[in-house]
């Protein structure tokens, strides 16, 4: 096997041999490569005929499946490959062994559209699609499989990936808010009440809504986990009284946090880790998530097996108190662009009066690799006259901190899931318009943590928008070649993190 698409890749170069650092076996990784090669074949087929709703779905699901921590199941991968019916397949080894700059650019495109496909899929299940987004998947896959393409053809396509992802995030934002309402701020407890409960992880609000409907009146409480936390801010979801709170922290802690949990856990998207024997009988998957020997809930979304397991396990005998990694007993969420822009006049006035001197967007993926305490320390050391916007699961490093308020606004504002980078972009653009300047002229610094492919497509979107001076960590991607990195540094001042003290001194000087 060869894989270097995530931040934890072995030696900072690539996972080879029998298994990857993520726990994926070589057979699984090779099947994912075969699936990707078949998707290139699908793109070539569509270029000669025409796309259909079926080919669009196959492309989205196939790309989504190959994101890190989604699918560990060889059987389901073989089924997807068979469903594609592609005789024309590309051997991905020809791409992984290509000239390093070509490989780097193709990797940026491929990993970017894998993340974008997840967002497109979430919108799709809510009935929202975009022709341009779907068409770009075929265009990008054709380019990845094209041997004759060089830097001149691939570099513009890297930036176009970011451009199309912006449209895709806007589509998902529209789908979520039209279906579930505009998020509003809410304080979410970390205590689990006594009695039966279910933990739901991932990103798919559609799955959560159906689970809430099916558990209504059954005496079962629902707790979010990981990237599902922002669901508490949506009016059409938080109206269910048995949506009680949040369990656990970020995805990489699940093997410790689930070890003796007296409840089932439903994984709706990525963030699944190899399942330990101590809780193997309590894990359920749905959609494109799959793990060998785990009960999978198919597209009919009948969650009866999950409900029965919750009732059988019974939950905790008494209310059980948990805390975040900094000891906090609650977290907040719901500060999407609808909320922040509704008080834009207060924000602008606070900046003009000097009460707010700087904005930091500190967010992205969390992970297990050492060095991520940087983000906790960075937030703790930010000045009292600054606002911290955050999103995605990286916020679990600090979202239980109480840093106070400025003019009635909390200093930490959770804008939502990784796809809600769209909210941060909307807010930044609105502030730039209010102060009649460019986004790069705002007192705003982006401090991003990356782990997997959704972070890649968001970074490409920020680059497409021309945003400079982004701090990225905890390490730079292994798939970015020295020449490509040099281009990003020269053109966008993309900078690796150093220490919180040094970075803050430089930012605020």
Residue 305, H or E segment? helix 304-313
Distance CA 143, CA 157 (A): 9
**DSSP symbols for 431-498:** HHHHTTS-GGGSSEEEEEE--SHHHHHHHHHHHHTT----EEESS--TTS-HHHHHHHHHHH--EE--
Distance CA 215, CA 127 (A): 24
Q: Is 203 annotated as a binding residue?
A: yes
Q: Is 227 annotated as a binding residue?
A: yes
Contact present, 361 and 446 (Cβ < 8 Å):
yes
Q: Is 15 annotated as a binding residue?
A: yes
Distance CA 311, CA 262 (A): 10
Q: Is 271 annotated as a binding residue?
A: yes
Tokens of 150: 């060089």
Q: Which residue has the tokens 């990489």?
A: 252
Q: Is 437 annotated as a binding residue?
A: no
Nearest to 143 by CA among 35, 52, 34, 39: 39
- Torsion over CA: 67, 73, 74, 78 (sign): negative
Residue 316 CB contacts under 8 Å (≥ 6 apart), including other chains: 192, 193, 194, 195, 262
Q: Is 22 annotated as a binding residue?
A: yes
Bridge partners of residue 225, in order along the sequence: 201
Which of 338-347's residues contact partners 24+ apart within 8 Å by CB, and which partners? 338/177, 338/182, 338/183, 338/184, 339/182, 339/183, 339/184, 339/185, 340/413, 340/415, 340/423, 340/427, 341/426, 341/427, 341/430, 343/409, 344/430, 344/431, 344/434, 346/407, 346/408, 346/409, 347/409, 347/431
Contact present, 231 and 209 (Cβ < 8 Å):
no
Q: Is 168 annotated as a binding residue?
A: no
Binding-site residues for [4Fe-4S] cluster: 3, 6, 15, 22
Binding-site residues for hybrid [4Fe-2O-2S] cluster: 203, 227, 271, 365, 393, 418, 452, 454
Binding-site residues: 3, 6, 15, 22, 203, 227, 271, 365, 393, 418, 452, 454
């Amino acid at each position: 096997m060869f894989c270097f698409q995530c931040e934890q890749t072995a030696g900072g170069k690539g996972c080879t041999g029998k298994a990857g650092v993520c726990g994926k076996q070589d057979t699984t990784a090779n099947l994912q490569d075969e699936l990707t090669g078949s998707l290139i074949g699908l793109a070539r087929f569509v270029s000669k005929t025409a796309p259909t709703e079926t080919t669009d779905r196959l492309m989205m699901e196939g790309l989504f499946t190959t994101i890190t921590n989604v699918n560990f199941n060889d059987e389901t991968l073989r089924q997807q490959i068979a469903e594609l019916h592609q005789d024309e397949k590309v051997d991905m080894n020809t791409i992984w062994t290509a000239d390093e700059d070509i490989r780097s650019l193709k990797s940026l495109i491929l990993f970017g559209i894998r993340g974008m496909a997840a967002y497109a899929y979430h919108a799709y299940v809510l009935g929202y699609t975009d022709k341009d987004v779907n068409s770009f998947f075929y265009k990008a896959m054709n380019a990845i499989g094209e041997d004759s393409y060089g830097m001149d053809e691939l570099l513009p396509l890297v930036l176009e990936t970011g451009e199309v992802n912006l449209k895709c995030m806007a589509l998902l934002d529209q789908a979520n808010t039209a279906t579930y309402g505009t998020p509003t701020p809410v304080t979410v407890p970390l205590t689990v009440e006594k009695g039966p409960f279910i933990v739901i992880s991932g990103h798919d609000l559609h799955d959560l809504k159906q689970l809430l409907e099916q558990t209504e009146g059954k005496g079962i409480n629902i707790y979010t986990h990981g990237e599902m936390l922002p669901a508490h801010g949506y009016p059409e979801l938080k109206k269910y009284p048995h949506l009680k709170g949040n369990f656990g922290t970020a995805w990489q802690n699940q093997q410790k946090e689930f070890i003796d949990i007296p409840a089932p856990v439903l994984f709706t998207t990525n963030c699944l880790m190899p399942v330990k024997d101590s809780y193997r009988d309590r894990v359920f998957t749905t959609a494109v998530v799959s793990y060998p020997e785990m009960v999978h809930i198919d597209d009919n979304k009948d969650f009866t097996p999950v409900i029965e397991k919750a009732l059988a396990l019974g939950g905790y005998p008494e209310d059980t108190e948990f805390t975040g990694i900094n000891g906090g007993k609650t977290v907040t969420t719901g500060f999407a662009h609808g909320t922040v822009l509704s008080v834009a006049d207060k924000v602008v006035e606070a900046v003009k009066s000097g009460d707010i001197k700087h904005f930091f967007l500190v967010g992205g993926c969390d992970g297990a690799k050492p060095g991520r305490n940087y983000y906790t320390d960075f937030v703790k050391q930010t000045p009292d006259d600054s606002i911290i916007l955050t999103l995605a699961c990286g916020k679990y490093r600090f979202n239980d901190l109480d840093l106070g308020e400025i003019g009635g606004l909390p200093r930490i504002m959770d804008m939502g899931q990784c796809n809600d980078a769209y909210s941060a972009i909307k807010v930044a653009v609105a502030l730039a318009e209010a102060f009649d300047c460019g986004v790069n002229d705002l007192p705003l610094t982006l401090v991003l943590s990356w782990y997997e492919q959704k972070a890649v497509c968001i970074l490409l979107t920020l680059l497409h928008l021309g945003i400079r001076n982004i701090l990225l960590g905890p390490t730079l991607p292994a798939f970015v070649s020295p020449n490509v990195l040099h281009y990003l540094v020269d053109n966008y001042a993309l900078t690796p993190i150093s220490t919180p003290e040094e970075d803050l001194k430089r930012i605020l000087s």
